[in-house]
Amino acid sequence: MSDKNDSFISEETIDSKVANVISKYDLDEDYGKKLEDLWTAEGDKRESLRTLAARLNKRILAGAMGDAGMTAVDGEVANLYRLLTDETVSSGNRTEARQRLAQNGIDTDQLESDFVTYQAIRSYLKDYRNTEHETQSSTIRTDDVIETLQRLQSRVRSVSEKSLTQLIAADRLTLGKFRIFIEIDVLCEDCGKQYGIVKLLESGSCDCSTNK
C-alpha cells in the first residue's frame, strides 16, 4: 500500500533513472503507477523488483525497436532482451543480437545503459514515488536472498575460472576454450518438479500451489 504522508518529498526534487527512461521512451504517463501497483499488489499478483526491472527494460527495448522502424514478432523482444542480458548466453550470440539492433540504427551501448537495475526500481518506488509495501512476515526480502545467491554464484564462477586457467598454464590440465556454469536447483519432493533457485524465488511457489 502506498504511504503518502506529510513528509512527502516532491518528485521534482529527486533524480530518478527510472523516471527519466519512462519519459525518454514516451511510455504511458501512468506507467509509473502501474509499476507501483504491481509492487504493492497482494499475493500472486505482486511482482518483485527484479521482475519489474525486466518488465521495464523490455518496454525500453521495444520502444527503441519501434523508433527504429523494426517490427517485432511475438516473443522477439523477450528473446532479444535475454540475449543481451542473460549471463548464460554465449558472447557470440550476444554479439549477433547487438549487431542486428545496430544494423537497424539502434545505439546498443546507449540502449543497454538505459536498462535499469532492480535497485533503481526500488529507489524509484520508495524514494521518487514514496511507496511502501507492507509485509506480513519477517524482515527477510526475496530480492536480498536472490542478490546474495547470485553474488555467491559469481564468486564461485570467478574462483573456478581462475583455478582452471592456472592449472592449464602449469600444464596440469588440458582443456580447450571453456565456459563455466554455476547453477543451483531445488527439487520439490512433493510435486516432483525441479527449479532453478532464482526462478523459484521470483515465482514465489512451486507447482504444489497450482495442484491444490
65-120 pLDDT, tens digit each: 999 999 888 889 999 999 999 888 888 899 999 999 999 999 999 999 999 998 89
Q: What are phi and psi of 172, to 5 degrees?
A: -100, -5
H or E stretch covering 187: strand 185-187
Cβ-contact 14, 128 below 8 angstroms = yes
Strands 194-196 and 185-187: antiparallel
Helix, strand, coil shares of the chain as percentages rounded to 5? 60, 5, 40
Q: What is the pLDDT of residues 38-49, one digit of tens each?
A: 998 887 788 888
Q: Residue 33 pLDDT more than 70? A: yes
Looking at residue 183, its pLDDT comes to 87
Q: What are phi and psi of 89, to 5 degrees?
A: -75, 135
Q: Give the Cβ contact number of residue 143 at 10 Å.
A: 17
Q: How far apart are CA 115 and CA 55, in angstroms?
A: 10
Looking at residue 100, its pLDDT comes to 93
Cβ-contact 173, 167 below 8 angstroms = yes
Cβ-contact 194, 185 below 8 angstroms = yes
Q: Which of 119-123, 173-177, 202-206 has the lowest mean pLDDT?
A: 202-206
Output the pTM of the full model: 0.62
Write out the DSSP string of 38-94. Answer: HHH--GGG---HHHHHHHHHHHHHHHHHHHTTPPPPTTHHHHHHHHHH-TTS-HHHH
Q: How far apart are CA 132 and CA 125, in angstroms?
A: 8
For the four alpha carbons of 148, 154, 160 and 162, in that order, the dihedral sign comes to negative
Q: How confident is the model at residue 136 (pLDDT cuts 50, 70, 90)?
A: very low
